[in-house]
Amino acid sequence: MSQSPLAIKTDNVGRIYKKKAAKRVSRASSPDSSRQLVALDGVTLEVEKGELFGLLGPNGAGKTTLIKVLTTLLTPSFGSAEVLGYDVVREPKAIRERINMVSGGETSGYGILTVKENLWMFSQFYGVPTKEAHRRSDELLARLELTGMKDTRVSGLSTGERQRMNFCRGFITDPEVLFLDEPTLGLDVHIARVTREFTREWMRKNPERTVLLTTHYMAEADELCDRIAIIDKGRVLACDTPENLKRMLQAQPVFQIRAGGLSESGIDGIRSTTGVIGLTQEFDLETSHHSLNLILQEESVISDVVGAIGAAGGKLVGLEKHEPTLEDVFVKLVGRSLKEDVTE
Amino acid sequence: MRSISPVRLFFKTVHARAVPRMIGMKREPSWIFLEILVPLVNTTAFVYLYRALHAPEAYVGFVILGSVLSAYWMNVVWAMAMQLHWEKKEGMLQLYVLSPSSLMAILVGMSYGGIVMASWRAALTLIVGLLLFNVHFATDQLPLVFLVFGVTLIALYGLGMTLSSLFIRWGREPWHLALAFHEPAFFLTGMNFPLSALFASVPGVISLISALLPISFGLDALRQLLLPGTIVGVFPPMTELWLIAGLAVLFLTTSYISLKFMERQARVEGTLALRLS
């Protein structure tokens, strides 16, 4: 182990999956029945102790693969990765003693056990003394508003309640580095806020602890993370504080336009207007209006955009300029909205 | 966590993983019917068959002892061997691997829970044999009986742990594999007839396969010790005890190696979790 102030360090880390093609196809087309899927393509990151670090990326960007590499569940195909100075390939046990992970939508826990029994069981795999485990689980369940369910069998929990229990499972071992993979997936707005507040509070109380968070929710990343890495197709496209990332777009104005009567080809026409850097769209079923979010090369381009809307047979309903958001940064870097990706 | 010794962590994990089985037994008592009473019907049928054939009364004792050990065999094949497959399916396997505990400790915990469950069935079978079918067992070598029984269980559950890591690699539908191990074992181990009869009448390779199943010599030794003078064993009980002890060492070692190998391969191939993105 090298002495390192870093909680996480990856150096050109990559992961390639070998995927077997369907036998019938491979025999007919190619003697090589395997094809490769590059899930991570040379990711270099440094996360300091005490940081709440976010990974933002569309589905299949490599976020979960990176988490699996860092949690020692997957070996990298090339490059190296360290957690708390320990190598993920050579020293997995030393890492496992110091980390934990919560994945959104996981169905872990035995249905026959109660919430409290499940938490106790998991704590034992990390050697937490029973008395301390009960104290921590009481505290976590209270904080996550699950105290009333502590004696309920896991099989009787709703998806959201189960997710909250998993959240408690991640914290009960008091890890030095906690990996949260879409932790608020399936939680209602109130509980998602509670979990975010709790995560921040936990880090305030334990300034040496580190959290690596992946999320689809831009606002969550913006609110929680000290720094964010935007990742797509296995590569890190940008890595900075949310404020600095947004500053990247300071020279490029962001407009929101509401328009009616637009077709998909009309929107494509607007997208191809000279000076339009990024465009995302949402359709409001109630009003039948499209809401277009545009990142422009310069402010004067807006007149061309309005012209393009008219040429496409659309009717302008509203137009406003707004400060760049993380979503805009994401669109600029990835080329599409995270919302579009989620709904795909 | 950092201050706990590996040995203490091992036993804490064993205890923690045994608890779901214990609690399950208490909260879902249907197992009493399915795991204890239903299998007794099969045992009873064999007893009536031997009596109808006017077989020596010792054969009833053979069947009872066979049924006692079959409880553990069934537990090993249907619960232990498929366990990692189920854990993976339930999303638990990656959480086990993620923890600093060893998979061996997790499986030993499961085994412990399974042994308790199977022991209820074994005990009831024994009671039925003693009270209902008037089986008389010799009690002058009880310490050796318990030793043979204990070592047999260690070898048996060592085999179960090995199978568990094999089933998860090759068992997309592991119940087919379990069936492949389940049915032939009743023939290969002499569960309902003396093992010596099998060894005298089948080719050497089948005898060898039989000898690799811990129940075979375990059962043969127990029959010789508990029903002395009624059976010609394949080997004397002490020899068979040494052979079973050898199997225990072999299977515990192979389970350790195969679990390590399974984990390493799964990390390389990315197959620890069902969902990967």
CB contact (8 A) between residue A64 and residue B276: yes
Q: Is B236 on the interface with A (CB under 8 A)?
A: no
Question: Mean per-residue pLDDT for A253-281?
Answer: 89
Could B1 and A99 be called an inter-chain contact, meaning their C-beta atoms sit closer than 8 Å? no
Look at residue A336 and tell me whether its pLDDT is greater than 80.
no
Nearest chain B alpha carbon to A175: B1
Please tell me the distance in Å from B261's CA to the nearest CA on chain A: 14
Task: For residue B172, count other CB atoms closer than 10 A to its CB.
Answer: 9
Give a yes or no: residue B26 inside a domain. Answer: yes
Task: Specify whether the CB–CB gap between A95 and A84 falls below 8 A.
Answer: yes
Residue A235 pLDDT level (bands cut at 50, 70, 90): very high
ipTM (interface predicted TM): 0.85
User: How far is the alpha carbon of B267 from chain A, nearest alpha carbon, in Å?
Assistant: 4
**Residue A27: band (very low, low, confident or very high) from pLDDT cuts 50, 70, 90:** very low
- Say whether pLDDT at A298 is over 90: no
The residue in chain A having the minimum alpha-carbon distance to the alpha carbon of residue B101 is A125
Query: Hey, CA dihedral for B18, B23, B28, B32, is it positive or negative?
Result: positive
Q: Is B73 domain-assigned?
A: yes
Interface test with B, best of A34, A97, A126, A167 (most B CBs within 10 A): A126
Q: Which of A36-50, A110-124, B263-277 has the lowest mean pLDDT?
A: B263-277
Task: Using CB atoms, pick whichever of B12, B24, B277 lies closest to residue A127.
Answer: B12
Q: Which of the residue ranges A48-52, A127-131, A280-284 would you say has the lowest mean pLDDT?
A: A280-284
Of the candidates B86, B80, B78, B79, which has an alpha carbon nearest to the alpha carbon of residue B104?
B80
SS (H, E, C) A125-156: CCCCCHHHHHHHHHHHHHHCCCHHHCCCEHHH
- Does the structure show a pLDDT above 90 at B239? yes
- How does DSSP classify residue A287? T
Tell me which residue of B213, B145, B154 sits closest to B183, measured CA to CA: B213
Contact A73 B16 (CB under 8 A): no
CB-based contact B99:B68 (threshold 8 Å): no
User: Is A125 a residue whose pLDDT tops 90?
Assistant: yes
> What predicted TM-score, i.e. pTM, was given to this entire model?
0.84
B277 falls within a domain = no
Total structural domains in chain B?
1
- The angle that helices B214-226 and B142-170 make with each other, rounded to 10 degrees, is 160
Which residue in A97, A112, A127 is closest to B24 by CB distance? Answer: A112
What is the number of alpha carbons within 13 Å of residue B57 lying toward its C-beta? 8
Q: What is the pLDDT of residue B249?
A: 97
pLDDT at A251: 76
How far apart are alpha carbons B263 and B178 in whole angstroms?
A: 21
Which residues lie below 8 Å from residue A339, measured CB to CB, with a gap of 6+?
A280, A282, A327
Indicate the SS3 state at residue B94.
helix
Q: Is B2 exposed, middle or buried (0-12, 13-18, 19+ CB in 10 A)?
A: exposed
Domain residue spans in chain A? 49-63+92-246, 251-323
**B88: closest chain A residue by CA:** A108
Q: Provide the phi-psi class of A288: left if phi over 0, else alpha when psi is between -120 and 50, else beta.
A: left
CATH code of the region A49-63+92-246:
3.40.50.300
Report whether A119 contacts B29 (CB < 8 A). no
Confidence at residue B277, expressed as pLDDT on a 0 to 100 scale: 33
Pick B97's closest partner by Cβ from A73, A100, A127: A73
Q: In this structure, are residues A187 and A157 in contact, taking their beta carbons and an 8 Å threshold?
A: no
Does the domain spanning A251-323 belong to CATH 3.30.70.260? yes
Question: Is B276 part of any domain?
Answer: no
Confidence of residue A94 (pLDDT cuts 50, 70, 90): very high
Q: Please list every residue in chain A whose beta carbon sits closer than 8 Å to the beta carbon of residue B97.
A: 72-73
Structural domain range at position B11: 6-269
CB contact under 8 A, A73 and B96: no
Residue B263 distance to chain A (closest CA, Å): 9
pLDDT at A339 over 70: no
Q: What is the per-residue pLDDT across A148-190, written as a single tens digit (0 to 9) for each?
A: 999 999 999 998 899 999 999 999 999 999 999 988 887 888 8
For B:74-93, CB contacts with A below 8 A are 90-92
Q: What pLDDT was estimated at residue B241?
A: 97
Match 């035995």 to its residue by tokens. A110
Hey, is the C-beta of B276 within 8 angstroms of any chain A C-beta? Answer: yes
**C-alpha–C-alpha distance, residues B173 and B180, integer Å:** 12
